[in-house]
Structure 1
């Protein structure tokens, strides 16, 4: 029985599984989309979303720090919390430039969103071993909102 056991072992030891998740997450943040198996994509989703949530908190703290005075004790506490969040994210990647990109660019897109930062789209079976493939991508809010009204307007013009 697997009561209260979440996640899949992906048929590999813990250290390899953690390395796989970190590498897939790195590629996802660098490129925006990755192609992988459905099982790996489903395992990667909570890992990536927790990183984005931490990055959102860090970016909100950065905004708050810039609005406060430079030498107040409250500012010092905010700076230390911001540094701690950056270090938590850096623990997974060991790349400060990537952490800065995640906190400054990726997390800013999702300030209005309370979760669901990724999308899994199934592609079908892989030719070699018939494992089910999927595309895991970061959702862009701006693109969705811009595209929908254009399509409706085009359809109305075509009917006339």
Structure 2
């Protein structure tokens, strides 16, 4: 069962598992360009949040970007249903202009493919995936309570281990 602001929500899609190949996606970046998983070679942390404009989501996005931005062959990708304009404004306000934020606002295909679309809200539930250079998932955390922080230490250990 997954909850958001204290209420049970229906998740559309099936959660991914360690060992699965990360599904390809088409999302919108802050320059209003469509991008796919193939546009990000190397290892990736896919940090999924309901909205970068909220406290936990902001902290999650900031933490992964600050801790991993200097790692070679690593891209932190934050995905939400925020409009690209809001994502770009948030990045500027937070001093994270080089952060990769992608929007699933258009058709929610990412949310369905990654098993994180909250049907009642048309927002994404909180999750963290670590993906290797072959796009195979090496770590995954789906949070039962969307209003909690992910296990940053476990995700970072998976990246660095």
* Same fold, judged at TM 0.5 (above): no
Normalised TM-score (structure 2):
0.23
Q: Which one has the bigger strand percentage?
A: 2
Q: Which one has the bigger helix percentage?
A: 1
Larger Rg: 1
Normalised TM-score (structure 1):
0.23
- Which structure is richer in relative contact order (CA contacts within 8 A, separation 6 or more)? 2
